Amino acid sequence: MHTVDRPACELCQTTGGEVLHQAEQFRVVLIDDANYPGFCRLIWQDHVKEVTDLHEIDRMLMMDVLWQVETVVRDVIQPLKINLASFGNMVPHLHWHVIPRYADDAHFPAPVWAQAARTAPAEALAERKARLPALRMAMAEHLASYR
């Protein structure tokens, strides 16, 4: 079990966010980031470092799920742009960031890891946050067939 082998890995030890769907090989979580309502992560269940360390069939599953997550975030949150990233520098346990971006968000057009450029308007953030119940439902529905 990875939880025994990797006691120090945060993503082996914790869910890493609010679980929207848990399958045998992965989970999709919602990140509680005040600047980025709808920020999701796709986390591979096993402690694997790089995409190219996965068997092809697992890689295809993971990427299929990533496109499902992107699709649901686009449909429900309707961002200007989707940002995708897989780093794993701090936690070398395969996970993907799926981040809805807007022209008025805190860092646009820079990546969210850059210096903040502004404070996003509170009204816009509140409006985006109001879509989270719909995102939770849509994500669970779309991913239900992945056991």
Q: Where do contacts with a second copy occur on this chain (CB under 8 A)?
A: 49-52, 59, 63, 67, 70-71, 74, 81-90, 92, 101, 108-111, 113-115
- Least distance in angstroms from the C-beta of 60 to a second copy: 9
Backbone angles phi, psi at 122, to 5 degrees: -60, -40
Packing angle, helices 132-143 and 56-77, rounded to 10: 150
DSSP-derived 3-state class of residue 39: coil
CB closer to a second copy out of 89 and 145: 89
- Least distance in angstroms from the C-beta of 88 to a second copy: 6
- Least distance in angstroms from the C-beta of 1 to a second copy: 24
CB closer to a second copy out of 80 and 130: 80
Residue 16: left (phi > 0), alpha (psi -120 to 50), or beta? left
- Least distance in angstroms from the C-beta of 59 to a second copy: 7
Rounded-to-integer distance, Cα 73 and Cα 100, Å? 7
Rounded-to-integer distance, Cα 74 and Cα 82, Å? 8
End-to-end CA gap in the chain? 19
- Least distance in angstroms from the C-beta of 144 to a second copy: 19
CB closer to a second copy out of 21 and 108: 108
DSSP-derived 3-state class of residue 27: strand
CB closer to a second copy out of 81 and 129: 81
CB closer to a second copy out of 31 and 82: 82
